[in-house]
Structure 1
Amino acid sequence: MSVRSAKTGAVSREDGQPEAGGGGEQLAFIRETVRKAREPRAKPRTWRGAALAGELPVARVLVDKGLLHLDQYFDYAVPEAMDAEAQPGVRVRVRFGARVVKGRREGGELHDGFVVERLTESDYRGPLAPLAQVLSPEPVLTPSLLALCRAVADRYAGALADVVQLAVPPRRAKAEAEPVTEPLPRPEAPARGSWSRYGTGPAFLLALARGDAPRAVWTALPGPHWPQELARAIAATLASGRGALAVLPDGRAAGRVDAALTELLGAGHHVLLTADAGPEERYRRWLAISRGSARAVVGTRAAMFAPVADLGLVALWDDGDSSHAEPHAPQPHAREVLLLRATEERAGFLLGGLTCTVEGAQLVDTGWALPLGAGREQVRAAAPLIRTVGELDEARDAAARAARLPSLAWQVTRDALLRGPVLVQVPRRGYVPRLACERCREPARCGNCAGPLELTGGDSAPRCTWCGRPEAAWHCQECGGFRLRAQVVGARRTADELGRAFPKVPVRTSGRDGILPSVPDAPALVISTPGAEPVAAGGYAAALLLDGWALLNRPDLRAGEETLRRWTAAAALVRPAGEGGTVVVLGEPTLRPVQALVRWDPAGFAVRELADRAELGFPPVSRMASVTGSAAAVADLVATAHLPEGTDVLGPVPLPVSAPGPGRPRRPGDPPPGERWDRVLLRVRPGTGAALAAALKAAQTARTARKQSDPVRVRIDPPDIG
């Protein structure tokens, strides 16, 4: 049997020897074979007797193997029967890991992949295995999407296959079989609407409508108008004949923008991409964008890769929300992905939110984007009245010592309930999520695994949040005490206490166990954890922001920024001060986040935070990478990586040992149970972040090639540096 190589077309037997005779005949045969391989062929090539494609017989394939040492393309022969369907961008199945035995490839496992291009010949000198199957003729991995995935992989020192997995949803054959629909005609440019409240808002809309690519960091006014304003920006982009993409932190926020855009333009101009749609419907909507049937996308984090053609605007709402950080490798952030898209595709950029992150302030400081905000008069007209209760006030308040609410908060709640609902934001969920010894205030720990203890109800026994073991006979290891006190009070305990304080008022809760999308405009107490606040029809009459210390005292670089973001999100749901809206925050009035909330100046807070970080060399002014793993593995990676000149090596420091259990599942990046890991932070000056990512990726690849099994996790620009 004869086999023809996709590289040279030379014919050989299964034992690898030429079929022609020896001496001059063999030499002449080889010369003739080489000559024919260098000239156009009229006859189809073959692989084990099967004809190969004539013009472009080689397919370059991205194999779905997310390993750094395999982060490259592989060439395969294209059988003639697959010539028409095996086009760039389609899904295929290939045999990977085959061995060359006597001149031919054998064995290997079947893996999915994508054809990235078709070639006339391969650089590989040996025989090429053929494509096993074309899974679908749908070109889902377009050249622009492939380029974006490659840029994201390089930015985060990851494998291209991992990024493509995030960008292209799993196939659903039923959705692909549906006919392609024509897009609707471009809509008319929308009126400015509430954008007139912002000084440069109308000019921003006008620039989008005429086909420009403006870039802005938008600090939105409090109130319910931001979904309509974002919808108008998308509609203005569609009016220019281009596409638009908006990414929001959760399905509730995406649903509000979806409803606003549908009301403004009608159905058919855009699609909503969220997990609530289900796999098949989500893929159907994704195909509508890929095929050009719809020109705009509103969705959550995964929509950042949506293949919108002729992109004119990328918008991101509330970029400080942790939901925008992808937990799967290589853990890209939606903000950075959209920044890459805006730069590479020359699209407009809109980074919006009720607050401004330090990264947003940096975009303005460098001149890459312009600020888009309202004047102080507009802010005062839209914001509620902010009142503070500090620790000194609580110490002087007898009611605050005996009850959950200080006197000021109780009075504001009582008066507001006569006019509408009252929102109460509690930082922690549960009943009493943290307990301590009543005598010495030492945190209460489990005798089995040393995990923290909690109360799940008013009559329940203390229970470990890690292993779930009850501790009915607990005693303090420090002082021998047997009595417990609440160290942190949760949302359900707060609801019980407020229900007793206001017995005739309905109490509703919104949190992890069940999030309320909205509440009616009627007197009620709405107890919510941060991020789960429902929207009230007509706005809340008042809001109470409890236990500010629990947010501000977190050991995190972003503790102040995150606290202000959560407070502002709740306060923005309250009616303006002119309509009696009041917010009471339990926090020390002299702290910077509290002062920023009182003045309603989130942009000024971000500018000051950026200046402090620039002085200390913290992100985002510098670029940083986190390397975690066993002590030996981390030391080996850092020692072998060719780090950029001037790299600061911070650490190593031991990571806290975490024990997953019923109340605490293991998170991505946590060390395995029982193992102790170290962490090293690598910091480089601005402009060398790409070199740092390339160096760490090369070092990881070298470790894998040396078959070093100890895992090392590399994360570029981690948002949760403590």
Structure 2
Amino acid sequence: MKAERVPAPELPVARVLPMLPLAHLDREFDYLVPLELDEQAQPGVRVRVRFAGRLVDGFLVARVATSDHSGKLGWLDRVVSAERVLTPEIAKLVDAVAHRYAGTRADVLRLAVPPRHARVEAEPPPALAEVPEATPDPVAWAAYAHGEAFVSAVAAGRGPRAAWQALPGEDWPTRLAELAAVVARSGRSAVLVVPDQKDLDRVAAACVDLVGDDLVVPLAAGLGPAMRYRRWLAALRGTARIVVGTRSAVFAPVPELGLIAVWDDGDDNHSEPRSPYPHAREVALLRAFGGGCAVVLGGHARTAESQRLVDSGWAHDLVADRSQVRSRAPHVTALADSDHALARDPGARAARLPAIAFAAAREALAAGAGVLVQVPRRGYVPSLACSKCRAPARCRRCNGPMSLPSAVGPDGAGSPTCRWCGVADASHRCQACGNRALRAVVVGAGRTAEELGRAFPGVPLRTSGGGEVLTTVPTGASLVVSTVGAEPVMPGGYGAALLLDGWALLGRADLRAEEETLRRWMTASALVRPAGEGGKVVVVADSGLPTVQALVRWDPVGAAQTQLAERAEVGFPPAVHVAAVDGTRAAIEELLDAAALPDGVQPLGPVPLPPGERLPFSGDGPEPADVERMLLRVPRAAGGALARALAEAQAVRGARKSAGSVRVQIDPVRIG
């Protein structure tokens, strides 16, 4: 005969949030805590409960004396681990992120708390190391207006908020490490969020140089499950005071958070591709607001979102005066339309380097300096068109875009190949005019490297991008061909940088095309020596464009102010809040019928959503072919109400078991 279970004598009711994907089940459920689990069943632990006849994972959120449920309560099945992995601060942050992005807490928790690794959890924690004395470089911070006062405020725990405009050539990993070190010295913790592994390695190394290896943990998605969980536990238990990581590190459960910093917040890598699609910058702001810690949004360029924070007074500028900028920036030259060959045929940009760019490269190499060549596309010739009628080359099988993966050799290698289905077509003919000859629309990194190798024989040539991204390259005369975002650092700086095919970046049909282009240009140009040391940047773009002029003047703040004003005029984020609702037309209509939308909402669409703009749907079954997008625009004051209405409507659809998935994204990076 089975013994009767006895509830815990004190606080016998556990409130559990089950990890269920359905929006209408995004709430706590009450369970009785058996006496044998009383000691282990503490708020924040992982548990297993029986829900609808099956065992599911969950988190114990709270212990209470009584339940509001009038029926019979089930029993807590077991405590998976006594480790309290969901801290009160992270629990509040998860709630705030779910509300901000119209998502469920279960989805946010999957981003915030990594899967358990039992063997790692059983390992004894390392001893807490002493934080060494670390003094920020007073000269470096004095270059910025109020820079020294900002560092002092961070060290004192006063929670300042700043948008930091790093100078060209600034050793920004060391500056972030200095801020983290003074926070750790005061007994608090710091979280530094960077966009990719290349930046993570640089910042982690700078932190280790200042405080030692024991106090720093790098967190990245590429780590194995055991190593990632071990480092995450070091942050949770407080043995590591500085966490450096990519976007998910913004949820790191460090004790006594004193500083959270996000570097290069305009990088797309900061945007989570999984539901509910939060942005690391916004999560950092929510965390700083809820915890009162210091927050820094840094970068060589500036986003409209960061500028709005400054304009509203929530954050303050941390910028250098113009004399400092002029002394540190390279000399920037833009190629105007006076280059007759480029004016007659924009495709000529893909066929050769302009004479002024060759001259800058030749001069830098002759002086023993490196030359950085930034190209917007990887591959050999990633885009082809008919040489006669200029019609884009399309695949005869699936109508996908054709590209040239490599040079055509005697064995027929390098035939035009479809980028969608991968089928080569050596006998390709234009579907519009029947012509067989093709031309390059844009040249990739591979073809550019090949041309430079012929133009500068004997000069070392390196490529960075795709599956092989270089972090650093040795000082000296060499050519470095890099795709955007993969530019390696050369100690002492490059002698010149050539920014090619600017029209390919500026011509994208994207709300953030100008902002993104300037960010990529400034990131590469910041690696070049100052103009006083001979540093030159040549950008192949119309010199009359505002984005090009912002680079020439090195004025990211002015460009961000312009972008913010333009978006306010046309009604796009961050001046307003926008929700993108993707799904079939019937599913979108059902969602909107169930939503109590706030006053002032302005619907835009729906319009067909191209396959290239889609993200994976979180619903069951295959993605429908006829996906459409509806935009819902509201004033900023109504953003919370819009997210709440859409979340409640998703719950209604889930309870009805409606057919078809609907994806909701609040303020998506790409509106389409």
TM-score (ref. length: structure 1): 0.89
| Equivalent in 662, 670, 680 of residue 630 of structure 2 | 680
Is 2:91 the partner of 1:143?
Answer: no
What is the aligned partner in structure 2 of residue 230 from structure 1? Answer: 176
CA contact (8 A) 1:249 1:324 kept: yes
CA contact (8 A) 2:351 2:440 kept: no
**Cα separation, 1, equivalents of 2:291 and 2:465:** 39
Q: Look up the equivalent residue of 1:262 and give its one-letter code.
A: V
What is the aligned partner in structure 2 of residue 75 from structure 1? Answer: 30
Q: CA deviation at 1:551?
A: 0.2
Counterparts of 1:568-579 in structure 2, within 5 Å, are 568-579=522-533
CA root-mean-square deviation? 2.0
| Equivalent in 637, 645, 667 of residue 695 of structure 1 | 645
Identical aligned residues as a percent: 55
CA contact (8 A) 1:381 1:576 kept: yes
What is the aligned partner in structure 1 of residue 49 from structure 2? Answer: 94
Unmatched runs of 5 consecutive residues or more in structure 1? 2-46, 98-107, 660-665
What is the aligned partner in structure 2 of residue 406 from structure 1? Answer: 354
Q: Secondary structure at the match of 1:638?
A: helix
What is the aligned partner in structure 1 of residue 474 from structure 2? Answer: 520
Q: Look up the equivalent residue of 1:374 and give its one-letter code.
A: A
CA contact (8 A) 2:584 2:624 kept: no
Is 2:398 the partner of 1:449?
Answer: yes
Q: Which of the pair has more CA radius of gyration?
A: 1
CA distances 1:273-329 after superposition (whole Å, capped 9, x unpaired): 123442212211211121122222111111100112111111110000001001111
Is 2:482 the partner of 1:482?
Answer: no
What is the aligned partner in structure 2 of residue 132 from structure 1? Answer: 77
Is 2:147 the partner of 1:201?
Answer: yes
What is the aligned partner in structure 2 of residue 161 from structure 1? Answer: 106
Is 2:329 the partner of 1:383?
Answer: yes
Is 2:370 the partner of 1:416?
Answer: no
**Cα separation, 2, equivalents of 1:218 and 1:135:** 43
Q: Look up the equivalent residue of 2:28 and give its one-letter code.
A: Y
Q: CA deviation at 1:403?
A: 5.0
Q: Look up the equivalent residue of 1:260 and give its one-letter code.
A: A
**Cα separation, 2, equivalents of 1:603 and 1:212:** 26
| Equivalent in 707, 710, 721 of residue 660 of structure 2 | 710
Is 2:126 the partner of 1:178?
Answer: no
Worse overlay, 581-590 or 504-513: 504-513
What is the aligned partner in structure 1 of residue 217 from structure 2? Answer: 271
CA contact (8 A) 1:394 1:401 kept: no
CA contact (8 A) 1:228 1:260 kept: yes
Q: Look up the equivalent residue of 1:438 and give its one-letter code.
A: S
Q: Look up the equivalent residue of 2:671 and give its one-letter code.
A: I
CA distances 1:552-578 after superposition (whole Å, capped 9, x unpaired): 000000000000000011111111111
Unmatched runs of 5 consecutive residues or more in structure 2? 409-413
CA contact (8 A) 1:216 1:349 kept: yes
**Cα separation, 2, equivalents of 1:190 and 1:346:** 24
CA distances 1:206-255 after superposition (whole Å, capped 9, x unpaired): 11112211111000001141111111111222233322111111122122
Q: Secondary structure at the match of 1:392?
A: coil
Counterparts of 1:59-70 in structure 2, within 5 Å, are 59-70=14-25
Q: Return closer, same or farther for 1:401/1:492 CA change in 2, 3 Å cut-off.
A: closer
Q: CA deviation at 1:386?
A: 0.5
CA contact (8 A) 1:76 1:130 kept: yes
Q: CA deviation at 1:348?
A: 0.9
Q: Look up the equivalent residue of 1:270 and give its one-letter code.
A: V
CA distances 1:172-220 after superposition (whole Å, capped 9, x unpaired): 1222112234433454461334112112111100111122111110000
Worse overlay, 72-81 or 511-520: 72-81
Q: Secondary structure at the match of 2:39?
A: coil
CA distances 1:83-107 after superposition (whole Å, capped 9, x unpaired): 111111111112221xxxxxxxxxx
Is 2:164 the partner of 1:215?
Answer: no
| Equivalent in 426, 429, 435 of residue 378 of structure 2 | 429
CA contact (8 A) 1:96 1:111 kept: yes
CA contact (8 A) 1:535 1:573 kept: yes
What is the aligned partner in structure 2 of residue 301 from structure 1? Answer: 247
What is the aligned partner in structure 1 of residue 388 from structure 2? Answer: 439
CA contact (8 A) 2:7 2:35 kept: yes
Q: Look up the equivalent residue of 2:355 and give its one-letter code.
A: S
What is the aligned partner in structure 2 of residue 582 from structure 1? Answer: 536
| Equivalent in 639, 650, 655 of residue 609 of structure 2 | 655
**Cα separation, 2, equivalents of 1:392 and 1:655:** 39
Q: Return closer, same or farther for 1:327/1:674 CA change in 2, 3 Å cut-off.
A: closer
Q: Return closer, same or farther for 1:220/1:276 CA change in 2, 3 Å cut-off.
A: same
Which protein has greater RCO, CA pairs closer than 8 Å, 6+ apart?
2
CA contact (8 A) 2:350 2:443 kept: no
Q: Look up the equivalent residue of 1:429 and give its one-letter code.
A: R
Q: Look up the equivalent residue of 2:582 and give its one-letter code.
A: T
Q: Secondary structure at the match of 2:578?
A: strand
Q: Secondary structure at the match of 2:325?
A: helix
CA contact (8 A) 1:208 1:240 kept: no
Is 2:288 the partner of 1:357?
Answer: no
**Cα separation, 1, equivalents of 2:659 and 2:135:** 58
**Cα separation, 2, equivalents of 1:116 and 1:502:** 65
CA contact (8 A) 1:657 1:674 kept: no
Q: CA deviation at 1:435?
A: 0.8
Is 2:669 the partner of 1:719?
Answer: yes
**Cα separation, 2, equivalents of 1:673 and 1:205:** 50
Runs (4 or more) in structure 1 with deviation over 6 Å come to 396-402
TM-score (ref. length: structure 2): 0.95
What is the aligned partner in structure 1 of residue 411 from structure 2? Answer: none
Q: CA deviation at 1:398?
A: 11
**Cα separation, 2, equivalents of 1:714 and 1:402:** 39
**Cα separation, 2, equivalents of 1:401 and 1:525:** 19
Q: Secondary structure at the match of 1:539?
A: coil
What is the aligned partner in structure 2 of residue 16 from structure 1? Answer: none
**Cα separation, 1, equivalents of 2:611 and 2:163:** 39
Q: CA deviation at 1:82?
A: 1.4
Q: CA deviation at 1:395?
A: 2.2
Q: CA deviation at 1:657?
A: 4.3
